[in-house]
Amino acid sequence: MALAAPWAQAQPADPPQGARAMVTAQPATVKPLPEHSSALGPEPQVSTDQMTTLLRAQVKYVFVIFNENHSFDNEFGTFPGVNNLYSDGVSPRSAANTPGFTQTYTDVNGATVTVKPFLIGPTQNSSVVDSVDHSHTGLATKIHVVNNVAQMDQFAFDEYNRFAKNGGAANIAEGTQFARLVMSHIDCDTIPFFWNWASNFTIFDNIFATEDTPSTPNAIAMIAGQSGETQWVKHGPAGQTYTAVDGTTGTTQGPPLVNDPQPLYGSQFDKSKLSNMPAGPKESYANTNIASNMTYATVPLLCLGSNVTNIMSKNLNPGFDTPDIQQDIPYLQGLNVAPVGWRWYQEGYDLESTDTNGTASHVPYVSHHQGPQYFGYLAHTPPLLGNFRGMTDFFTDMATNGLPNGGVFYIRGGYTNQMGLLPAITNPLTPAAEITAINAAKSGDDDHPSYTDRQLSEAMAARVINAVAANPQIWAQSAIIITYDESDGFYDHVPPRILSYGPDGLPLSRGVRIPLILISPFARSHAVSHAEGDHNAVIQTIEAIFGLPALASLPDEAQALAAGNSPAFNQFGPPGFQQQYLGPRDINSPITDSLLSGFDPAKLLGLTPPLPSSLATIPANVVTTLPHYGGHGCEAIGIVPEDIRQGVFPAIPTNFNPLPSTYPSIN
């Protein structure tokens, strides 16, 4: 389809009257439009099948930089040309027509308090904020589903009441600050690298968390397109009871996962330790906080291709690890697809450059973010253990040409950063005691507000992207996806489709909208894709590039998807609701799409030159100099945010504290 200017009405063939084009151009910023911008002329019309064929010929390496916990509006709520807080990407939009823009709650004195979105920046040390409520129940409250439609209007209400309900001045003050924080957002002064990549390449503004849950279910969904719905349909939601190594007993959290339990392999219930999976020393391993073994299909299973039978025969406990892929294995074997390399690089998994004495401390390791570790057939099969690696391993593999000859590679940060940097302090008037608190709490690099700094996190992404861009052979065949697991519970105005309900009767899928940026020499430049999807969109794209079958097409998953749409499961939704999506949904349909719209067919056909690696590269001295661009990122990268374009300047609440838990003394 042709790329439309945001002010134009260009549309795909035979669209509904007035429909928006799938892909539009970002408006011009103060810097010149990129030389290779897809908006500079018409493009060839190609079918989805043709695009897939072109991609398979050109792209051999897919890198997924998998960050933590920010909603789209929280990071890109004023990015020009996207569906943002103040515009639909084409025209300004009023607060009255923006779901949840004006939020209210009743305080303990009976007064009605109103909170609206507002920008925070360097004066507020905006690269370090506290984490808001992203529990499964909290997220359900925030999106506030009525008649199966998310209202997006109880973010402030949830934050205030989760503290104020406990009574006392300190709790009330903390609730007041969190009710403000949840409505805040940032721009290119805080995360200039992310905004620059979004400008130079393609940003997607209609991608959501797969599950309306915290991190673990969405870490799993990144490779499975679900958090256990297949397993729930086949075996029920109950957990299993185990005896721990200390003799105590506990029951695992069964599927579908909706909390952040630890993976079974590597836990106190993994007595054999044959998997040799690590446990994160900063993580909670209570006997009640361990997940059941996950047993359904994943992208790594697809990647085994024609080796699937041989490799799965080496699993150490097939009766326990593989019950829900028994039909999938021979089906995949029969397809005889060429195997595809895969690796999951996660900071702290093994020996890191930050460790001393040659011993892996695992201190940076966030084990409940390690998607593959939840699957016994991946974590308990010796030939596959080399695919689990640490962050240092990624840079070593890049420097030594140690990657497989193509494949999909996931990269995740953790509790610390390998650069040894302290958080960015952008307000020179910050009290010493507050700086001490920030330094102690916010030195991680996976973008999770609880323990990271946003500029350390974009620096980690820059190091990864620079490593890819510095290798001409890999860059020329690469696609890099930057995305997030879930929203952390920060406000976003776009209601997700409610596709399923869990055994607790709460909305299960989808969750709040999240950022996604596609970087590639074959990506559109200065473009916005409005393709709708979730983590399944990433999975679909991987399947398209490597010629893999859809997870939803596999026999075990297809059977569960069919069986889930029945009275036994429909009862968990509102009257008349049908559970059509209890499993992966990585097949194009009216409710989900891939990321193929972010690629430029003219570049894939060789009609226009591929994008140079310089558009993705951040100079090393800029990466390690904090704050980035001295806190003037918008000016440095030449982008005028939408609120400034429109002259909208909402006031920051008086005495606002972005660190109500980390530094509560000023609440």
Q: Please report where in the chains the tokens 């507002």 appear, as a residue.
A: 118
Is there a cis peptide before residue 510, judged by omega within 30 degrees of 0? yes
Q: What mean pLDDT comes out for the span 208-215?
A: 98
Supply the range of the domain harboring residue 601.
23-74+188-628
pLDDT band at 33 (very low <50, low <70, confident <90, very high): low
Q: What mean pLDDT comes out for the span 124-146?
A: 97
pLDDT above 60 (res 80): yes
pLDDT tens string 347-399: 999 999 999 989 999 999 999 999 999 999 999 999 999 999 999 999 999 99
Cβ–Cβ < 8 Å for 497, 80: no
pLDDT over 70 for what percent of the chain? 95
Q: What is the pLDDT of residue 274?
A: 64
Q: What mean pLDDT comes out for the span 245-254?
A: 94
Q: Which neighbouring-strand residues pair with 203?
A: 517, 528
Cβ–Cβ < 8 Å for 116, 651: no
Is there a cis peptide before residue 627, judged by omega within 30 degrees of 0? yes
* Cα 145 to Cα 166: distance, rounded to the nearest angstrom: 26
Q: What mean pLDDT comes out for the span 617-621?
A: 96
Of 10 and 53, the one with more pLDDT:
53
pLDDT band at 29 (very low <50, low <70, confident <90, very high): confident
Q: Is residue 107 part of a domain?
A: no
Measured in whole angstroms, how far is the alpha carbon of residue 119 from the centre of its chain? Answer: 22
Q: Is residue 598 part of a domain?
A: yes
- First-to-last C-alpha distance (Å) of the chain: 51
pLDDT tens string 179-196: 999 999 999 999 999 999
* Cα 356 to Cα 488: distance, rounded to the nearest angstrom: 33
Q: Is residue 1 part of a domain?
A: no
Q: What is the pLDDT of residue 47?
A: 86
Q: What mean pLDDT comes out for the span 554-563?
A: 97
Q: What is the pLDDT of residue 32?
A: 58
Number of domain units in the chain:
1
For every residue of 447-473, DSSP letters joined together read --TTTB-HHHHHHHHHHHHHHHHT-HH
Q: Is residue 381 part of a domain?
A: yes
Give phi and psi for 202, each to the nearest 5.
-120, 130
pLDDT tens string 324-337: 999 999 999 999 99
Nearest alpha carbon to residue 291 among 283, 281, 302, 299: 283
Q: Is residue 344 part of a domain?
A: yes
pLDDT band at 13 (very low <50, low <70, confident <90, very high): very low
Q: What mean pLDDT comes out for the span 430-458?
A: 95
Identity at 324, one-letter amino acid code: D
pLDDT above 90 (res 19): no
β pairing state of 342-346 and 407-412: parallel
Q: Please report where in the chains the tokens 């040409």 appear, as a residue.
A: 401
Nearest alpha carbon to residue 538 among 527, 525, 548: 548
In sequence order, the 6+-apart residues with CB closer than 8 A to the CB of 130 are 178, 181, 449, 450, 658, 659, 660, 661, 662
Least confident of 244-248, 359-363, 581-585: 244-248
pLDDT band at 44 (very low <50, low <70, confident <90, very high): confident
pLDDT above 50 (res 296): yes
Give phi and psi for 452, each to the nearest 5.
-125, 170
For the question of whether the overall pTM of this predicted structure is more than 0.75, the answer is yes
Q: What is the pLDDT of residue 271?
A: 79
* Cα 240 to Cα 99: distance, rounded to the nearest angstrom: 41
Residue 421: how many other CB atoms lie within 10 Å:
18
Q: Which neighbouring-strand residues pair with 242?
A: 250
pLDDT over 90 for what percent of the chain? 90
Cβ–Cβ < 8 Å for 43, 3: yes
Average pLDDT across the chain, whole number: 93
Q: Is residue 288 part of a domain?
A: yes
Beta strands in 453-560 (DSSP E): 478-484, 500-501, 507-509, 516-519, 527-529
Q: Is residue 179 part of a domain?
A: no
Q: What mean pLDDT comes out for the span 506-528?
A: 97
With b for 16 or more beta-carbon neighbours within 10 A and e for fewer, the 260-277 pattern comes to bbbbbbbbbbbeeeebeb
Cβ–Cβ < 8 Å for 207, 487: no
Q: What is the pLDDT of residue 9?
A: 24
Q: Is residue 661 part of a domain?
A: no
Q: What mean pLDDT comes out for the span 160-185?
A: 97
Q: What mean pLDDT comes out for the span 290-306?
A: 98
Q: What is the pLDDT of residue 8?
A: 26
CA pseudo-torsion sign 522, 525, 530, 536: positive
Cβ–Cβ < 8 Å for 549, 556: no
